[in-house]
Amino acid sequence: MQTPIRFLPLFIALFGLTMSYKVEPLPDSYAGLGEGPHWDVATQSLYYVDLEAGKLLRYDFKENKVYKTQIEGEKLAAFVLPIQGKPQEFAVGCARRVVVVKWDGVSPVAKVVRTLFEVQKELELNRWNDAKTDPRGRFFGGTMRYVGNEFQFRHGELYKWEAGGEVSIVKGDVGISNGLAWDEKINKFYYIDTTDYEVKSYDYDFETGVASNPKVIFNLRKTSPEDHLLPDGLTIDTKGNLYVATFNGATIFKVNPRNGEVLLEIKFPTKQITSAAFGGPKLDILYVTTAAKFDQPEPAGTTYQVTGLNATGYPGTYLKA
């Protein structure tokens, strides 16, 4: 049967066909442990980190170019969150501190200008891992043990912080605090502790920032522990579907959180997929960070863009600090 071009979208919708997606590397985008992608609308840029190198990176969409900077005196940079009203200031997770780093987005060196807060001062083997701002500008982020076995030593915690207030613990007994996402349409918060091999949903009060009633909505366990997939970073599209990165699976799963159904498996030419964020002028490009840990071969550590997903997401929210 021949289908006229003008009826092709209807044909696709009726017969459940999906458009093909395209995975492409960003130029000179390597990060040994790429993490924390955050799309900034004002600069049309993707910010992310090279976590174990203490570096920030910025992909300029218009220039199709990646700028990199070393944070002076720091060896770790777990996340990068632009601060509201201060275009050259970013909240960055350095060890167990959340510091404000000043960077013009171009210079090869950036400087810490002040510390917002610090957690777990006595746990020197812990560090920050993933963090984001909720849609109201609150900080949410968690820690993990980075020396030794994170699955055995569950010394991490998930924290919340608001400008003018004290940092508070949202959840204890965390192995590797990872992906976070929110859905204002249905008042939900989604969270990943990698060592639990699952994604949990919480009821979320956007006025108070309180999460409650955890429920497993996506399970990545296989038949034997050696085969369990490791969920890492997380993002959400405007229809409420989740995009779950797998650190050992070369895949991002597009998941319907209402029933746990996998809607799409997005495949990559490298194994350690760390996180994802929507961006681009139309917020329809999925940017994906990867890692090159444990002697992974090229192209490990490359940052990718995925187009043709027929989905849009949300830009990153500025931190109120």
Q: Active-site positions?
A: 232
Q: How many angstroms separate the Cα of 236 from the Cα of each of 67, 126, 242?
A: 26, 28, 4
127 labelled ligand-binding: yes
Closest CA to 190 of 145, 158, 224: 158
Tokens of 183: 């859905």
129 labelled ligand-binding: yes
Spacing of C-alpha 207 from chain mean position: 23
178 labelled ligand-binding: yes
35 labelled ligand-binding: yes
Secondary structure (DSSP) of 101-139: EE--SS-SEEEEEEEEEE--TT-TTEEEEEEEE-TTS-E
Helix, strand or coil, per DSSP, at residue 227: helix
Kind of pairing, strands 109-118 and 126-133?
A: unpaired
In the chain, count of helices (H) and strands (E)? 1, 24
Secondary structure (DSSP) of 69-97: EEETT-S----EEEETTEEEEEEEEETTE
Could you tell me which residues are annotated as the binding site?
A: 35, 127, 129, 178, 232
Could you tell me which residues are annotated as the binding site for a divalent metal cation?
A: 35, 178, 232
Could you tell me which residues are annotated as the binding site for substrate?
A: 127, 129
